[in-house]
Amino acid sequence: MNLWLLTGLVIVGCFGLKLAGYFVPAAVLEHAGMRRFVELLPVALLSALVVVQLLAEGQEWVLDGPRIAGFAAGAIAVWRRAPFAVVIVAAAATAALLRLVG
């Protein structure tokens, strides 16, 4: 399939999905289960993106020790409620130091 055709289909699909949201009745959106789903969906999508960036190198899955250790350091910093800049520096410094020594 042509890349431009695929890109166009994705654009039309995203626009159609967004447009369809305007036609959903308010009663559906006010339901507790739907509200919970809508609140958790961005977290799930972001988590999936993080895992792909963590474990993928092009088209292959890679277990890269420094990258995983940097992620763990960042996750611990988030868990300890560190500021965003501290999380980034902790993750980057951990990965860089491990790459330097290994």
The tens place of each residue's pLDDT in the chain, 102 residues long, gives 788 999 999 999 999 989 988 898 888 888 899 889 988 999 999 999 988 888 888 888 888 889 999 999 999 999 999 999 999 999 999 999 999 998
CB 29 within 8 A of CB 21: no
Q: Is residue 21 part of a domain?
A: no
Count of CB atoms situated within 10 Å of the CB of 34: 13
Return the H-helix or E-strand segment holding 57: strand 56-57
- State the pLDDT at residue 80: 96
- State the pLDDT at residue 8: 94
Q: Is residue 82 part of a domain?
A: yes
- Strand-pairing partners, residue 57, are 60
What does residue 4 show for φ and ψ, rounded to 5 degrees?
-70, -35
Residue with structure tokens 């350091």? 73
Number of independent structural domains in the chain: 1
The whole-angstrom separation of Cα 90 and Cα 77 is: 7
Enclosing domain of residue 92: 63-102
Q: Is residue 2 part of a domain?
A: no
DSSP string, 13-37: HHHHHHHHHTTS-HHHHHSHHHHHH
- State the pLDDT at residue 42: 92
- State the pLDDT at residue 30: 85
What is the reported pTM?
A: 0.63
